[in-house]
Every structure is written in structure tokens, then in C-alpha cells.
Structure 1
């Protein structure tokens, strides 16, 4: 459902206060906003969120040794082969790509799990929560995509709540990179790689509509450099 986006100014103020409490650098006053007053927002459809989590789960499984034949068989049964991005396709089929980078998608899955109501929080100080893997398709036991959807019964969060956390992670992404550049202590157990993965997932999950927003971006089109 499309709704009005929250007022971005108090949301940003809250994000900056959170950075201060974490002891992180705070960006300048001209740091870009994620959205503008008057924009509308909506979440990706539930089925699209579930499909992306399922695909990333297969990518993770491949990075930890799942045979390519088994991965493709699962995706074919789930009718999700077309959901693979080109880099994911090359990795799943040909083992082509950086295994470490694909393994980092665990943090993106964690963030999407939060959006879908599968995890209770997304604390930037903590790594992906214990029990996350039990909430994903059980590939070892041969659980199908359809069976997982029936077992899980996801309940996506209110889109304004997701947008507020996106703004926080947008600021955190800058702050963690700046802290690492300046060799400052980080507030928890994760680094900028994990924060960036979570921001990636949140940016993909929320769709903004307004005069300065493009059409919804594909997964690989999310730009974390801005």
C-alpha cells in the first residue's frame, strides 16, 4: 500500500542523535536526504521480498559449498531462476565471482528478514541474529520454496518504520566508513561491510515515489556510493 512518507527532517534528526549515542562521526548538515517532503512510499510486494530472500539464501548456500546442480534444481522447482541477477547467475552456475562478497549477503538477508518480520531488531552493533538460519528455507532437509512460505507466514513491517531505519542505515553507512578511515573505534561487533549490506537490502525493499525518484531499481542497481 502506498502512503505518505514521514517528514524527513525529524527522521534525520533522530538518525543523527543515534550516531552520537553510538560515538560515531556525524555527517555535515548538507548530507543528502533519502527522500523529500511530499514523497510517497511503499514496500516491495510480499512475494517479491520472499523471492529475494530465497535467492540470496541459495547464493549463501553456494558460497558455503552447495553444489551448483542442487542450487539450480531448487531454484527451478521454486520458479525463481529468472530472479537471479547476472552476477548471481554466474556465481551459482559457474562459481564465478568473489565468494567473500557473496557470503556477506547474510547481512542483507538479516535486514530483509527484519523487514518481513522474521527478526525482532536490526541493532547496528550486533551481527546477524542467532536463529536467522532456522527462519530461512531449510536446504539441508530439502524444504521447498512453497513449503517455506507456508511455514514462515511473513508479516512485513509498516513501511514508515522501514523508511526510518533506512535513513539511520544511510547515515550509519557513511559514519562507519568515516570511522574506519580515521581509525576510530566502532561501537559493536560489525564493520562497514555489514552495515552496507543492510543498507542495500533496506534501500531495495522501500520504494519511494516523487519528482526526484526513478522507477524501482533492480537489486544490482542499488547504488551505495551516494
Structure 2
């Protein structure tokens, strides 16, 4: 269900104050907004959010040694094979790709878990939440996708709350990269890679509608360079 996006100006002002409290660089006044006044927004459907988390969970499992045959059998049973992106397919099936990059997706799962109500917060100073793995499909015990969906009963957050968190991570992404470029101390135990993964997930999860927004992008189409 679409809703009017919150006024972006007070959201941005509040998020810049967060950067200041963290001791991070603050972007210039002309730093782009994520959305414009009057834009509409919505979250991806719950089933789509759950499917993306399940696929990323398999990708993570492969990066930590899950055999490809077992991974594909799980995805086939879940009817999620078609949800794999091309890079994910090559990695899951044939170990092609940067294993470290795929392992970083744990932080994207953390952000999606927050969107889905599986974790209480999304702390920019702390690595993925304790207990997050227990809220994902238990692959070691053979838990199916259907069983996991029944066990978790996800409750996605309000779109406006997710949009505010996206704007924060848009600013944090710039601030962490700038701090690392200038060799400034970071405020916690995560770096720009983790923040970028979280921004990736939030950019994908929330969809804006307005004159300057494109159609919803696929997972691999999310552009973090802007």
C-alpha cells in the first residue's frame, strides 16, 4: 500500500544530527535528497522481502562452506531458484565470485531483518544483531522456507520509518567513506563496507513513486555510487 513519504527536510536535519553525535563528517548542504516532497512510497511486498532474505541466507551459507548441491536442493524446494541474481547463481552453483563480498551480505540481511521486524534496531556502531542467525532459516536442521515463514511471522515496519532509516544510511555511507579517506576514527565496530550493505538493502526494500523515480530496481541494479 502506497503512502505519502515524510517531509524529507526534517528527516535529513535529524539524521545529520546523528552524524554529528557520532563524530562523523557531515555532507554539504547540497547533498542530494533521497526523495522529494509529495513523493509516494511503499515497501516491497512481505513475500518478496522474505524471499530475498532466504536467498541471501543461502548465499551466506555457501560462503561459509555449504555444498552447492545442498544449497540448490533447498532453493528448489522453496521455489526460489528464479530469485537468484546472475552473480548469486554463479556463486551458489560454481563458487564463481568474491567470497568475501558475498559474506558481507550478512549486514544486508541485518538491515532487511530490521525492515521485517526481526531485529529491534539498526545500530550504525554495532555489527549485525546478536541472535539474528537464529531468526533466519535453520539450514543445519533442514528447516524449509515454508516452515521458517510460519515460525517467524514477520511484521514489516511502517514505510516512513524505513525511509528515514534509508536517508540516515545514505548520509552514513558518505560519512564513513569520507572518514576512512581522511583516516578519521570510526564511532564503532563496523566500517563503510557494512554501512554500504545496509544501505543496499534499504534502497531495495523501499520503493518511491514520483516524477524523478524510476521503476523498482532489481537487487543487482541498486547503485551505491550516487
Q: TM-score under structure 2 normalisation?
A: 1.00
- The root-mean-square deviation of aligned C-alpha atoms, in Å, is 0.3
How far off its partner does 1:102 sit? Answer: 0.1
Aligned-residue offset at 1:78: 0.2
Q: Residue 168 in 1 paired to residue 168 in 2?
A: yes
Cα deviations across residues 98-156 of structure 1 (Å, max 9, x unaligned)? Answer: 00000000000000000000000001000001100000000000000000000000000
Residue 72 of structure 2 is aligned to residue 72 of structure 1:
yes
Aligned twin of 1:100: 100
Q: Name 1:222's counterpart in structure 2.
A: 222
Q: Is residue 11 of structure 1 aligned with residue 11 of structure 2?
A: yes
Aligned-partner SS, 1:134: helix
* CA shift for structure 1 position 197: 0.1
Runs ≥4 in structure 1, deviation > 3 angstroms? none
1:190 maps to what in 2? 190
Match of 1:29 in 2: 29
- Report the Cα distance in structure 1 between the residues aligned to 2:105 and 2:5, rounded to whole angstroms: 28
SS of the counterpart of 1:127?
coil
Q: 1:9 and 1:221 mapped to 2: Cα distance?
A: 27
TM-score by length of 1: 1.00
Alignment of 1:104-183 (within 5 A): 104-183=104-183
Matched residues in 1 for 2:197 and 2:84: separation? Answer: 17
Deviations 1:14-38 (A, max 9, x none): 1101000000000000000000001
SS at match of 1:195: helix
Unaligned runs of 5+ in 1: none
Q: Distance in 2 between matches of 1:109 and 1:202?
A: 10
Q: Distance in 2 between matches of 1:93 and 1:202?
A: 27
Segments of structure 2 that go 5 or more residues without pairing to the other structure are none
CA distance in 2 between counterparts of 1:14 and 1:100 reads: 34
The corresponding residue for 1:51 is: 51
In structure 2, C-alpha distance between the alignment counterparts of 1:124 and 1:181, rounded to whole Å = 18
Structure-2 residue corresponding to 1:41: 41
- Equivalent residue pairs, number: 226
Give, in whole Å, the separation in 2 of the partners of 1:15 and 1:121: 15
SS of match in other structure, 1:119:
coil
Instruction: Provide the secondary structure at the position in 2 that maps to 1:72.
Output: helix
Deviation track 1:32-78 (CA, whole Å, cap 9, x = no partner) reads 00000010000000000000000000000000000000000000000
CA distance in 2, matches of 1:47, 1:169: 24
SS of residue paired to 2:13: helix
